Amino acid sequence: MTPVLGMFTFVFNVIGLVTCLAGLTLAQRRGKRKQQRWPGYALAGLGFFIATIPIWGQWLVAT
């Protein structure tokens, strides 16, 4: 693994982790009114996808 690829892996993992945690926190919150949870779960899924971008990139380059 090159140093640049390692750096991008770390950056994508941190951004994906923060996005995923923000989405799960948003899905967990409840106000006085019953709120929909799908935006939080969608944001968490997006964060997971962002965190796995380097793995998909390595897989695409290897094939």
In contact, 56 and 38? CB cutoff 8 Å = no
pLDDT tens-digit readout, 12-34: 999 999 999 999 999 887 665 66
d(CA 4, CA 29): 38
Q: Position of tokens 């770390």?
A: 10
Number of structural domains in the chain: 1
Q: Is residue 21 part of a domain?
A: yes
Q: What is this structure's pTM?
A: 0.78
Of 44, 45, 41, 52, give the one whose Cα is nearest residue 13. Answer: 52
Range of the domain at 40: 7-62
pLDDT exceeds 90 at position 57: no
Q: Is residue 53 part of a domain?
A: yes
Give the per-residue pLDDT at 60.
84
Q: Is residue 1 part of a domain?
A: no
Q: Is residue 41 part of a domain?
A: yes
d(CA 55, CA 35): 34
HSE at residue 53, side-chain half, CA atoms within 13 A, is: 18
Give the per-residue pLDDT at 1.
59
